[in-house]
Amino acid sequence: MSRTEISTLGEFGLIRHLTDKITFQQPSTRKGVGDDAAVMAYGQKRTLVTTDLLLEGIHFNLEYVPLKHLGYKAVAVNLSDIYAMNGTPTQITVSLGISARFSVEDMEELYAGMRLACEKYKVDMVGGDTSASMTGLTISITCLGIANDKDIVYRSGAKVNDLICVTGNLGTAYMGLQLLERERLAIRGTTDSPTHRLTDSPTTGDSIPAFEGREYLLERQLKPEPRRDIIDKLREVGIRPTAMMDISDGLSSELKHICQQSNVGCCIYEDKIPIDFTAAEVAEEMNLNILTCALNGGEDYELLFTCNLKDYEKLIALGDIYLVGHITKPEYGTMLVGRNGEEIALQAQGWQAFKENV
Amino acid sequence: MSRTEISTLGEFGLIRHLTDKITFQQPSTRKGVGDDAAVMAYGQKRTLVTTDLLLEGIHFNLEYVPLKHLGYKAVAVNLSDIYAMNGTPTQITVSLGISARFSVEDMEELYAGMRLACEKYKVDMVGGDTSASMTGLTISITCLGIANDKDIVYRSGAKVNDLICVTGNLGTAYMGLQLLERERLAIRGTTDSPTHRLTDSPTTGDSIPAFEGREYLLERQLKPEPRRDIIDKLREVGIRPTAMMDISDGLSSELKHICQQSNVGCCIYEDKIPIDFTAAEVAEEMNLNILTCALNGGEDYELLFTCNLKDYEKLIALGDIYLVGHITKPEYGTMLVGRNGEEIALQAQGWQAFKENV
């Protein structure tokens, strides 16, 4: 049998390749693979379902992620997918694979974080599966949610001339990760403990000052919040985005998904992309280009959405929503206009772990 | 912080410990952790959800499990949980963690098996998540299903004097595993290839004859079928079990769950437990006690259910359903009556992987 490396397709290519032959047999199935969540019709309302698998060493590093934060984040990223459909998350199930390295107290910490997120967002933990693992910690969370059919926002609804909006700021979670990674390497050089946790109990006098004034960046990385507040505000003022998704893999990658599925192009402006001041400062310190981080950093879990032009005034008044560009005809492509006015095609670096993992 | 080993609680103890503080906030949540599936009320009908995490080296060994069979089984065991609630499975989501050892062709095989199970049981694959893994193959499947509220059968409904029934036969999947394991070790002694697959393309003349006439045992281990047929038959003749679950961890363990949740005791008879003839033969060959295998082997994915006495005649006429005992008052305990008439308390060995994994 021939052998094709998975890295030649990448994550999205692999999913497309494996799922393109799927046909549906159930009348309740309304939308399958390809959006933030699948959509089912069991009753009057629609049921949404999304799932995420988090693997130690790939998605998180326990040297600097406290288990309680990890639990919170694991739930938060799933809720974010349901909000990105303009739905309300209602239940989660949690499956864990746990190696003998972990104690009951460790799992209590992890669950405490998950419970905290569930309480804050009024989501019930209704089931799961717990098993031994030979290789570290595995977390698989599935989130269910509900929405009225007419309220659901897909990635495929963007129209030419629609406004492109993002919430919060971008690249900040990535800069938080860089800070944590830098400290981890610095501490590795000064201690022998490979399991020392940076954020738990730093033992060197150097590690805390390195984060001073930069706690926000760490928080963005370690404890992201899904933007329920934005979804609520949009609903209150009667704005229904035409297309929406959450920004988990970076703005470039997500914009390309929306453009591809909506069969449109886009034009965004470098100077409109919301950047946090401290993130920019740290990027400069580390010789990183903050624009690249904002476009491709990922894990911000902000919302990217498109809206009809008529909603412009109402949108801006809501706060923490930034207009970054507009939707174009498909033949225009997916373009970024630089500060100098030059247009360049957006590159979706997105998720490259299959290549790194060879 | 003190450290308590997870092995001191075991799988079920850990889940109970971590989930006993959970309270519900959503009106749609009807049943959480503790049955084969959680139950939600989104519309007229109820929505069921169950999830399973399968880890390489813990739940499957790719030396003797072909990927296509693995895909089929991963879906089948989730469907089994929905049938065990007396529901109809409708959709699944699939999350995969894939190390660089696997090729696109490998994943096609895995998906072919999953698709086969989906087609046979009319279930739609609606979503998922694919990611790199540093450590082998991880499969997380969540299954959604539907049921009328009045049809759902919980583990908690068994009543004193109810009949205890099991379907098919027990211990057979475990004996299939023993056969495969014995051959794996034999082949290891004669070849240098640690990734040689027994069932794919045996290279030694000895490996095939070892399975001759015992293909059924392998099939029970490698390609279990959820008992939709039994659920359909029971419905046709109007029998609603009072309690039900599928037998994944062994009859003893499952009976104890039903008795605990229904607050009853039970009495089952050794000579009533359905045993496959070939399984008994192989057990003798391997110096294993087939009764122990039938009580604790696990992975049979047969149904265990209790029924009102009045259904006796109708039940027996359905075929492939075996009456193994009856429900008693709780003070009687969970007892097994041996062929010699002696009563012994059932021991739930069940799932011990946390201990083995230290």
CATH number where B263 lies: 3.90.650.10
CB contact under 8 A, B133 and A32: no
Q: What is the pLDDT of residue B198?
A: 55
Q: Is the pLDDT of residue B194 over 70?
A: no
SS3 per-residue string spanning A184-212: HHHHHHHCCCCCCCCCCCCCCCCHHHHHC
Q: How many other CB atoms sit within 10 Å of the CB of residue B190? A: 10
Structure tokens at A82: 């349901």
CB contact under 8 A, A40 and B90: yes
Same domain, B194 and B227: yes
This model of the complex carries an ipTM of: 0.91
CB contact under 8 A, B26 and A100: no
Q: Is the pLDDT of residue A159 over 60?
A: yes
* CA–CA dist A205, A264 (Å, integer): 53
Q: Is A193 inside a domain boundary?
A: no
Which position has the token pair 């998540």?
B129
Contact list, A16 vs chain B (CB under 8 Å): none
Last residue of a domain, one of B118, B151, B184: B151
Tell me the per-residue pLDDT of A82-120, one tens digit each, with 9 for 90 and over: 999 999 999 999 999 999 999 999 999 999 999 999 999
Which position has the token pair 């080993």?
B5
Q: Is the pLDDT of residue A205 over 50?
A: no
Q: Is the pLDDT of residue B1 over 70?
A: no
CA distance A6 to chain B (A): 5
Q: Is the pLDDT of residue B356 over 90?
A: no
Structure tokens at A182: 């830098």
Q: Name the amino acid, one letter, at B226.
A: P
Q: What is the pLDDT of residue A309?
A: 97
Closest-CA residue to B224 (of B349, B108, B84, B117): B117
Residue B210 is part of which domain span? 163-356
**Percent of chain A at pLDDT above 90?**
80
Q: Give the residue-averaged pLDDT of B251-277.
A: 97
Contact list, A47 vs chain B (CB under 8 Å): 42, 47, 144
| Residue A273 contacts residue A339 (beta carbons within 8 Å) | no
Same domain, B110 and B221: no
Residue B343: CA atoms inside 13 Å, Cβ hemisphere, count?
8
Size of chain B in residues = 358
CA distance A356 to chain B (A): 9
Q: What is the pLDDT of residue B209?
A: 60
Q: Is A196 inside a domain boundary?
A: no
Q: Is the pLDDT of residue A195 over 80?
A: no
Closest in A98, A125, A130 to B32, CB measured = A125
Q: Is B1 inside a domain boundary?
A: no
* CA–CA dist B129, B117 (Å, integer): 19
CB contact under 8 A, A128 and B15: yes
Residue B43: pLDDT band with limits 50, 70, 90 = confident
Contact list, A45 vs chain B (CB under 8 Å): 42-43
Q: What is the pLDDT of residue B283?
A: 96
Same domain, B104 and B202: no
What mean pLDDT is reported for chain B? 91
Structure tokens at A50: 């999304």
CB contact under 8 A, A3 and B144: no
Last residue of a domain, one of B151, B180, B205: B151
Give the CATH number, domain containing residue A106.
3.30.1330.10
Same domain, A48 and A137: yes
Residue A1: pLDDT band with limits 50, 70, 90 = low
Q: Give the residue-averaged pLDDT of A169-195.
A: 81
Q: Is the pLDDT of residue A280 over 50?
A: yes
- Taking one residue from A and the other from B, the number of pairs with CB-CB distance under 8 angstroms is 278
Which residue is closest to B44 within chain A, CA to CA?
A43
CA distance B272 to chain A (A): 31
Q: Give the residue-averaged pLDDT of A213-223.
A: 95
Q: What is the pLDDT of residue B108?
A: 95
Q: Is A216 inside a domain boundary?
A: no
Residue A24 vs residue A190, higher pLDDT: A24
Q: What is the pLDDT of residue B186?
A: 84
**Percent of chain B at pLDDT above 70?**
91
Q: What is the pLDDT of residue B191?
A: 52
Q: Name the amino acid, one letter, at A298.
A: G
Q: Is the pLDDT of residue B189 over 50?
A: yes
Q: How many other CB atoms sit within 10 Å of the CB of residue A219? A: 15
Residue A193: pLDDT band with limits 50, 70, 90 = very low
Q: Give the residue-averaged pLDDT of B221-235.
A: 97
Which residues, 6+ apart, have CB-to-CB distance to A21 below 8 Å? B115
Q: Is the pLDDT of residue B213 over 50?
A: yes
Q: Is the pLDDT of residue B358 over 80?
A: no
Closest-CA residue to B128 (of B119, B147, B141): B141
Q: Is A217 inside a domain boundary?
A: no
* CA–CA dist B119, B112 (Å, integer): 10
* CA–CA dist B317, B297 (Å, integer): 28
CA distance A298 to chain B (A): 15
Q: What is the pLDDT of residue B303?
A: 98
Q: What is the pLDDT of residue A292?
A: 94
Q: Is B157 inside a domain boundary?
A: no
Closest in A51, A57, A130 to B127, CB measured = A51
Same domain, B59 and B208: no
Same domain, B205 and B102: no
Q: What letter would DSSP give residue B146?
A: E
Same domain, B181 and B320: yes
Same domain, A170 and A144: no
Q: What is the pLDDT of residue B205?
A: 39
| Residue A173 contacts residue A275 (beta carbons within 8 Å) | no
Q: Is A212 inside a domain boundary?
A: no
Q: What is the pLDDT of residue B203?
A: 40
Contact list, A62 vs chain B (CB under 8 Å): none
For chain B, how many structural domains are there in total? Answer: 2
Size of chain A in residues = 358
Q: What is the pLDDT of residue A99?
A: 93
Q: Is the pLDDT of residue B204 over 60?
A: no
Structure tokens at B94: 């699939």
Q: Give the residue-averaged pLDDT of B16-36.
A: 92
Residue A184 vs residue B30, higher pLDDT: B30
Tell me the per-residue pLDDT of B47-94, one tens digit each, with 9 for 90 and over: 999 999 999 999 999 998 999 999 999 999 999 999 999 999 999 999
Same domain, A15 and A84: yes
Which residues, 6+ apart, have CB-to-CB distance to A113 below 8 Å? A67, A68, A69, A70, A71, A72, A73, A74, A75
Q: Is the pLDDT of residue B263 over 90?
A: yes
* CA–CA dist A248, B3 (Å, integer): 35
Contact list, B142 vs chain A (CB under 8 Å): 49, 51, 93, 142
Residue A204: pLDDT band with limits 50, 70, 90 = very low
Closest in A3, A51, A58 to B133, CB measured = A58
Structure tokens at B33: 């952790």
Q: Is the pLDDT of residue B357 over 80?
A: no
Which residues, 6+ apart, have CB-to-CB distance to B40 below 8 Å? A90, A91, A126, A144, B28, B29, B30, B46, B47, B48, B49
Closest in A1, A44, A103 to B105, CB measured = A1
Same domain, A105 and A248: no
Q: Give the residue-averaged pLDDT of B254-282.
A: 97
Which of A1, A6, A36, A119 to substitute to test the interface with B, most B CBs within 10 Å?
Answer: A6
Tell me the per-residue pLDDT of B287-322, one tens digit each, with 9 for 90 and over: 999 999 999 999 999 999 999 999 999 999 999 999
Residue B46 vs residue B16, higher pLDDT: B46
Query: Sheet containing A138-147: which strands, arranged edge to edge?
Result: A29-31, A38-41, A46-55, A138-147, A88-98, A124-132
Same domain, B125 and B181: no
Q: Is B60 inside a domain boundary?
A: yes
Residue B129: pLDDT band with limits 50, 70, 90 = confident
What mean pLDDT is reported for chain A? 91
Q: Is the pLDDT of residue B188 over 50?
A: yes
What letters, b where the CB count within 10 A reaches 16 and e where it falls short, cover B79-111? Answer: bbbbbbbbbbbbbbbbbbbbbbebbbebbbbbb
CB contact under 8 A, B5 and A47: no
Q: Is the pLDDT of residue B177 over 80?
A: yes
Contact list, B78 vs chain A (CB under 8 Å): none
Which of B131, B154, B248, B352 to substitute to test the interface with A, most A CBs within 10 Å?
Answer: B131
Same domain, A69 and A171: no
Residue B230: pLDDT band with limits 50, 70, 90 = very high
Q: Give the residue-averaged pLDDT of A250-276.
A: 97
Last residue of a domain, one of B91, B121, B151: B151
